Amino acid sequence: MKNIVVLLLILLSSVAIADTDRNSEHAKKTLEIYKTIIEMETSKNLGNVPGMARYLADELVGAGIPETDIEIIPVDDTAALIARYRGDGSSGKGPILLLAHMDVVEALAEDWVRPPFELTQDDTYFFARGTIDNKFGVAHLTSTFIRLKNEGFVPNRDLLLVFSGDEESTMKTTELLAYERKDIAEAEFALNSDSGGGPLSADGKALAYQIQVAEKTYATWDITVRNPGGHSSRPRQDNAIYDLADALKKIQAYKFPVSYNDMTLEYLREAGVHKGGEIGDALVRFADNPDDEEAADIISRDSSYVGTTRTTCVATMLRGGHAENALPQSATATINCRIFPGIAPDEVKQELMTAIGNDAVEFEVVYAGLESPVSPLREEIRSAISAAVHVRYPGVRILPYMTSGGTDGLHFRRAGIPTWAAGGIFMDPADNFAHGLNERVPIKAFYGALDHWSTIIRELTENKE
């Protein structure tokens, strides 16, 4: 009986701690910032990012960061934000960059169950565009700076919030920050909030924590077929739309050769052990023997893992014809490719042309991909992130991995700044609707991440006697 009472007291204590955390000043400020910026619609071409940057700057100034240490940089109709948290310089090391992006992907309100630019919730989730990508990171990093200032924390080097304003589109602000700013070039490394995190099983068990150390190159082409056209009452054997469809089906059927490195094999082996079943077995087999074609084919049918084993290209937009009663004079499709590190975009284009086998198909660059290196995981980085993660999920395995999508980190790595993504979200991958309809994040994940960045920052920059 005594043991049962003790257990109940422990459980009640845990609940009380959780409730207290949700009502702390830090929790309330984080939620306030989160709600405010989510309800600023910062999709491309709307011109709302500068206003969001100004709001965040004012919050930081209110916490004691001098206005002179904050800069809003206009770029076309968007902006970037840099905020410097000054340290005492005792480490003798360059600053640490903390990355996030303020813009979001467009969302059509008529397609959503809930309003996409209003933070709503049920018992389990927060809903809105940007709840994951990446206003979660913006809110937590900003509120962490405010918290550390309120606590009087002095790091042993400078910390820089570096928020881009068009990561989801042109990345002009990202390129400016990564390649044109001498103050940023002085950084020793960067930590990115826009990737990384922990997958949970359906029953809430943490499977691992993933630190992004590399990402695939992002490249896009428009492919076009042209035709003299004519009247729709006189069909031709050649038709721009049909010929384009033939080309697209060949792209759909084409599998790029498998690609791998030591980091991806380590990740796939661990993922396979936890995943189990046919796909889990295939992941382990591939990690043990990347020449196992059967395993590679099984993996290629799973959208969660195919991008980790090879370059992928997919049609994302389609347009053609000019009148309902006329044969099409042209038809165009947009092909987006996510390219394995170390492979040049021109090589991918050539493979696509060979797969299509039709010299009449024109290729036009929409976005020219850039090669970006891997950032080998340093032990001090792994240790600091582990300290934050293991408070929430003791003993969970920390794994380096590569993402199939692109982030600002691609440019910072290319600029010579080692970059690791270490976002604070733990969630079931089945709940991840970033870029999709009804984007959401578990409320538990939001509050669970409150100490994530402050722990990492203290581990890396606290003066320890």
SS3 71: strand
Q: Hey, which bits of 322-397 come out as E strands?
A: 326-327, 330-339, 362-367
183: exposed, middle or buried (Cβ count in 10 Å: 0-12, 13-18, 19+): middle
The predicted structure's pLDDT at residue 12? 36
pLDDT (0 to 100) of residue 465: 60
Exposed/middle/buried for residue 441 (C-beta within 10 Å: 0-12, 13-18, 19+): buried
3-state secondary structure of 338: strand
Q: Which residues contact 54 (CB under 8 A, 6 or more apart)?
A: 72
Task: Report pLDDT for 266.
Answer: 85
Domain ranges in the chain? 17-195+407-461, 217-367
What is the value of pTM for the model shown?
0.82
Would you write out the chain's pLDDT as a tens digit for each of its 465 residues? 444 433 333 333 333 334 448 999 999 999 999 999 999 999 999 999 999 999 999 999 999 999 999 999 999 999 999 999 999 999 999 999 999 999 999 999 999 999 999 999 999 999 999 999 999 999 999 999 999 999 999 999 999 999 999 999 999 999 999 999 999 999 999 999 999 999 998 889 998 999 999 988 889 999 999 999 999 999 999 999 999 999 999 999 999 999 998 888 988 998 888 788 999 999 999 999 999 999 999 999 988 888 889 999 999 999 999 999 999 999 999 999 999 988 889 999 999 999 999 999 999 999 887 778 889 999 999 999 999 999 999 999 999 998 877 899 999 999 999 999 999 999 998 888 888 899 999 999 999 999 999 999 999 999 776
**Which residue has 């042109």 as its token pair?**
170
Is the Cα torsion angle 253, 256, 260, 263 positive or negative in sign? negative
Contacts by residues 294-300 (CB-CB < 8 Å, ≥ 24 positions apart)? 296/258, 300/255
Please tell me the distance from the alpha carbon of residue 136 to that of residue 70, in angstroms, as a whole number: 21
137-166 burial, b if ≥16 CB within 10 A, otherwise e?
A: bbbbbbbbbbbbbeeebebbbbbbbbbbbb
Top CATH class of 217-367 equals: alpha beta
Q: How many CB atoms lie within 10 A of CB 348?
A: 23
| Residue 92 to residue 325: CA distance in whole angstroms | 72
Structural tokens at position 57: 């700057």
Backbone angles phi, psi at 364, to 5 degrees: -130, 130
Kindly list the distances between the CA atom of residue 146 and the CA atoms of 1, 33, 83, 93, 302, in Å, as whole numbers in the listed order.
46, 11, 12, 23, 42
One-letter amino acid of 254: Y
CA dihedral 452, 141, 97, 270 (to 10 degrees): 40
Q: Where do we find the tokens 């009472």?
A: 5
Q: Considering only the top CATH level, what class is 17-195+407-461?
A: alpha beta
Cβ-based burial of 11 (10 A; exposed 0-12, middle 13-18, buried ≥19): exposed
> Which residue(s) pair with 189 in the sheet?
96
Helix, strand, or coil here: 359?
coil
